[in-house]
Structure 1
């Protein structure tokens, strides 16, 4: 492999016509912070007068976001206060999303045998999975996994782990829970960089219930997960990162303006690698479930894959209604697709997430 070649890892499962061989997403539930703000309200709340900075908010294609902000806008939260907010809101939103998911599939807390929690907006030990288990009285022998700090692409990394557990444990219920309190990762200062970050992200949580089951009625016309693929862009570790900021005494997120173009340049190759070894062409994909990374990211993917506005309708509408809710964004889009009533048995789909690294994760699903 050439030194500058992108690293790509593709992990297919044995192809079979028997859907019971594949884990199925039985249902999805979501939740956001109870406080909602329009972009105009955020601009006014923080007294942003610079016209360039105001335009970053108003041109973001975001209408409203759930955010957990201090009662006094001028109060600068310490890192300790941000961690406490992350812990408090992760449990609140996570529990709501999980219960919403269980209600949709007619399951109960006692049915959960595996729980994977994904987050990047705060480090805790015990982690979010233990806190959620205690808060909801999930059985004490429930197996758990915490995926921490991977970023916006981590939802598919977590789904990969949950899918493999489900494949090895048929007829048992597994849960993927993504919880991102993005307002606990904000830095308030006068820079354009912070303005871009603060205009984009929202607080949200999403949960997916998985099972490998032979019950055809249970899994009919629901996503069967058939293949995962990972792609690490070369020489891109510093263009999107979350690291300690000495000046502010807290962690802060850096997002380069080049990210949409880096992703767009590689996305066709990435989808090609995902579908490689499968009897499926890109033109045969019926549904696209893509991370709501931002207007420019969505446009770049859409243009480079030749997708229509209809193809990315849920990705765009989730961005507009919630902002970028990081690792769980793609499940917000999947929830809308499942509720839409357009899916037919045998339909094909691709899920795509992207985040720090720059890493792009993808998965192939069939309904």
Structure 2
């Protein structure tokens, strides 16, 4: 008896969405006021200019007279809200933004066609979970199998897509809806020192949805890889506190990533033992300009290789796990790809990704 062939999973389509409230400039003004040291103020201003970010979008409502979350009557106007208030907003806004991303898929979603739902998010907790809230609002069958990827940070979309990949390989008829939704702007923190304010400067809100199946259209995904850097667990941390989730993002991260990517063992894992010369497409998580610079230098790739990632960073900031799917969407809208690499970075310090090609 001939063995049953294992299907090749494909990302058939991606839809993406951001809110319509641009909070980037308002944050810059607020953050500058938190710093009392003139030297730190000057450094912060320079880093703003060098950030490569023009806009970041928030689900938080506009304050008085259309103001920002830090303006009078804004979400943060009366001090730092407790975690409970932030999670209440997450439970309402996260499903809405996720549904907006699903609505932006190239073709209208048929709820009856979905067999599995995989949702990634690290910026909120609620029960029933975001997976169940989205499933109900989409009208998915109660029999749909669900997975919730929580608190994995910026590489959460890789884990979600990898989960869909394994589902399709084991169930060739499966049609998996993958969603990454992040509301980072719910977690503004009362800080008066430079490093945490520079970390908060990066993040915005966004959501992306993808259909993964054995249908040979879109991007074929294969060649999963994962690597955790030794002695790096203190470099990125995400703590649940009384006033939201507090992130620690060390300034050492870009340098450590760049050094790791320059090593032959990690390069070999990323390229499946082949060289980088044959790679014709990159979908890299735009964690920040310094991260993208480190990737470009560490892998010794051309100055235009990360254009998709730099464009997303400029227009939307770092949307945590959703960011990589925005990059993959731009890849799918471009010319055919023979050998592409998707990669994201997050707590661990870890690098996770996969290879892709056009169907």
Aligned length, in residue pairs: 333
Q: Tell me how far apart the structure 2 counterparts of residues 21 and 133 of structure 1 sit (CA, whole Å).
A: 26
CA contact 1:56–1:199 (8 Å) conserved in 2? no
Q: Tell me how far apart the structure 2 counterparts of residues 330 and 301 of structure 1 sit (CA, whole Å).
A: 14
CA contact 1:186–1:253 (8 Å) conserved in 2? no
1:57 aligns with 2:48: yes
CA contact 2:28–2:201 (8 Å) conserved in 1? no
Q: 1:276 Cα shift? A: 2.9
Say which is worse superposed, 290-299 or 26-35, in terms of deviation. 26-35
CA contact 2:103–2:109 (8 Å) conserved in 1? no
* Structure 2 equivalent of residue 11 of structure 1: none
Match of 2:197 among 190, 195, 208: 195
1:48-95 Cα deviation digits (max 9, x unpaired): 373333333332110001123434253322211111122222111101
The answer for unaligned runs of 5 or more in structure 2 is 36-40, 61-68
Q: 1:275 Cα shift? A: 2.5
Match of 1:30 among 16, 39, 61: 16
* Structure 2 equivalent of residue 276 of structure 1: 272
Match of 2:141 among 139, 143, 146: 139
* Structure 2 equivalent of residue 149 of structure 1: 151
Q: 1:212 Cα shift? A: 0.8
1:205-239 Cα deviation digits (max 9, x unpaired): 011111013xx5xx2xx211111011011111111
Q: 1:47 Cα shift? A: 6.3
Match of 1:224 among 220, 224, 231: 220
Q: Tell me how far apart the structure 2 counterparts of residues 29 and 335 of structure 1 sit (CA, whole Å).
A: 7
Matches within 5 A, 1:294-313: 294-313=288-307
Q: 1:151 Cα shift? A: 0.6
- Alpha-carbon distance change, 54 to 68 in structure 1, aligned in 2, over 3 angstroms: farther
Q: Tell me how far apart the structure 2 counterparts of residues 100 and 267 of structure 1 sit (CA, whole Å).
A: 34
* Structure 1 equivalent of residue 116 of structure 2: 114
Matches within 5 A, 1:164-179: 164-179=166-181
Match of 1:212 among 195, 211, 214: 214
Give me the CA root mean square deviation.
1.9
Report the TM-score when normalising by structure 2: 0.87
Match of 1:354 among 345, 348, 355: 345
CA contact 1:36–1:65 (8 Å) conserved in 2? yes
CA contact 1:178–1:328 (8 Å) conserved in 2? yes
* Structure 2 equivalent of residue 243 of structure 1: 239
Q: Tell me how far apart the structure 2 counterparts of residues 249 and 40 of structure 1 sit (CA, whole Å).
A: 23
1:99 aligns with 2:96: no
Match of 2:308 among 310, 314, 332: 314
* Structure 2 equivalent of residue 82 of structure 1: 86
Q: 1:270 Cα shift? A: 2.2
